[in-house]
Structure 1
């Protein structure tokens, strides 16, 4: 197979732009990073769960603005100008926490912090931009803390690392010509995958008597420096130029780089009455790394 390098900007744009546009800011956020189980007062604890989400995002008044056969894919304005853009999805979590003595707690967990799935399909006016795009991450984390008495409560130092896998694909209508001449459906597909490491560090102060806790945790970027995959244009071919030559009609190896964003989160909670707890959080995520 032929080989072609994609730069960081191209790789990020091709796969992420449909999900991280200004109108869909934070659209890649799924479960995020959550280490609340680390504060469980039990010597051992196990948690698991699945959250089911139904986004129901719709596209309306869509117009094909690039009606050229190449590279626009052909005039699609005769197709419907509305589409159901997002698919339902689940967010799983599994965690096990263990305490060691009176000062050390450790947590190992599995989560899916980032992801996104748009699936407007082939029959709409924007199919030459997106038929289906999906990104998935799998995060395997280990976090420990050391706590000691300070004033009426306890100060806790937090540190850990995580290994993160990412994979994704994008399909779009590259050309309507193959369908007209019977040589293919005109759909191209990009597949990419990689993995990387990240780390976290933070502080927390707790007064258990009042169920009060304040925590500040930073999660680092994850660099995907070896994104590899393929562009499949085997369904985009015709017996005349330009669809009768490379890269059309074949599978091409591609590679590049991208980053998952770093974040800083402040969480506060306090008991306000028996069996009542008030809590809140403020979070900053560096989505600019995807631009």
Structure 2
């Protein structure tokens, strides 16, 4: 089953979510670290999403001749790169290096409907956050079945957020530029395997990573100086990954994964933004707890699938996945709340130690709940309703044992 055992690290490479739970993107798998011997791989993937909804304040908009209340697709297509390098200098010692893009969002929304006096931009939202992670791993094989491993992760984080429109009230024209920051985190875990049965299970904990981000904030292009502090604490969340695989026949293998991410403790609240909210709360106490970005619940996601080996060169996979979401109300930042997915993949060995793999995944998103007739929006760019939304992810991987 050596072909199937290698392929199981590939079936998880497709970025699994699109803000279905927080800003989750990559799933932070360390599957390549468990490959036999020395190994390297690179993965390219592309996300094509169709995410839209209906804007708020439709009665007021109808009075000025607006008949189209659709946001249009406001999630930009996104490319992903993941890479890994694993060395086995001694039978019991292994080292690994993994690059991925664990968290991020790319939203660009401009609502410009026709009115009685022609097209007018009523509101717009641009939200871009990006992170990159380099993980170093050290593993030690205690015996033929048990391995322990630990390592450090260096993470960069940056972003940009802009909102425009009367629906944002006193935040109309607000912009926050989050300068790139680097910070350290750690991870550790256990791996159990019985190679002759293609059985392997691993449990990995990743710590939260604390960033101190310099943020330039402005309204209508005028810098905000309500407080002297211009650094914002942003803590990317802790997570736990459980991965499992086992051979169920000579040509078939069952694989599964489960992931938890602590999004309920994740908050982005720049200092000047917080000062604006504190000032406005004197006249509208109901917004005192308003946060720029906050998630209500932790994320749970999982996947289960089958890999089938046709011969020593060809393997295919089929899997089903799900994500429970983060419980937020519908907005342009959180238009969906979880998903169900279906994935297909195929791998071809053109040489005994080298393979090429292709995969695709379809995601059907659950609708986020909506709030009606609210005088003060509880989230930035709240939506009146959410459409039936979905996405496709396409990926390719090259791997080589050496």
TM-score clears 0.5: yes
Question: Unmatched 5+ residue regions in structure 1?
Answer: 1-22, 68-74, 177-185, 237-245
Change (3 A) 1:266 1:192: same
Given that 2:19 and 2:105 are in contact with CA atoms closer than 8 Å, whether structure 1 keeps it comes out as no
1:10-25 equivalences in 2 (<5 Å):
25=20
Question: 3-state DSSP class of the match of 1:288?
Answer: helix
Change (3 A) 1:127 1:209: farther
Tell me the CA shift for residue 188 of structure 1.
Answer: 3.8
Question: 3-state DSSP class of the match of 1:200?
Answer: strand
Given that 1:122 and 1:173 are in contact with CA atoms closer than 8 Å, whether structure 2 keeps it comes out as no
Asked if 1:270 is matched to 2:215, the reply is no
Aligned equivalents of 2:265 and 2:122: distance in 1?
A: 27
Following TM superposition, where does structure 1 have runs of at least 4 consecutive aligned residues deviating by more than 4 angstroms?
75-80, 124-128
Question: 3-state DSSP class of the match of 1:37?
Answer: helix
Given that 2:29 and 2:241 are in contact with CA atoms closer than 8 Å, whether structure 1 keeps it comes out as no
Change (3 A) 1:167 1:126: farther
State the match for 1:19 in structure 2: none
Given that 1:76 and 1:126 are in contact with CA atoms closer than 8 Å, whether structure 2 keeps it comes out as no
Aligned equivalents of 1:190 and 1:285: distance in 2?
A: 26
Tell me the CA shift for residue 37 of structure 1.
Answer: 0.7
Question: 3-state DSSP class of the match of 2:230?
Answer: strand
Asked if 1:162 is matched to 2:157, the reply is no
Asked if 1:197 is matched to 2:184, the reply is yes
1:210-221 equivalences in 2 (<5 Å):
210-221=197-208
| Bigger shift: residues 267-276 or 211-220 | 267-276
State the match for 2:94 in structure 1: 105
Given that 2:97 and 2:137 are in contact with CA atoms closer than 8 Å, whether structure 1 keeps it comes out as yes
State the match for 2:70 in structure 1: 82
Change (3 A) 1:59 1:254: farther
Change (3 A) 1:219 1:197: same
* TM-score for the superposition, normalised by structure 2: 0.53
1:22-37 equivalences in 2 (<5 Å):
25-37=20-32
State the match for 1:230 in structure 2: 216
Tell me the CA shift for residue 63 of structure 1.
Answer: 1.3
Question: 3-state DSSP class of the match of 1:120?
Answer: strand
Aligned equivalents of 1:121 and 1:52: distance in 2?
A: 23
State the match for 2:130 in structure 1: 136
Tell me the CA shift for residue 104 of structure 1.
Answer: 0.8
Given that 1:228 and 1:253 are in contact with CA atoms closer than 8 Å, whether structure 2 keeps it comes out as no
- Count the aligned residue pairs: 233
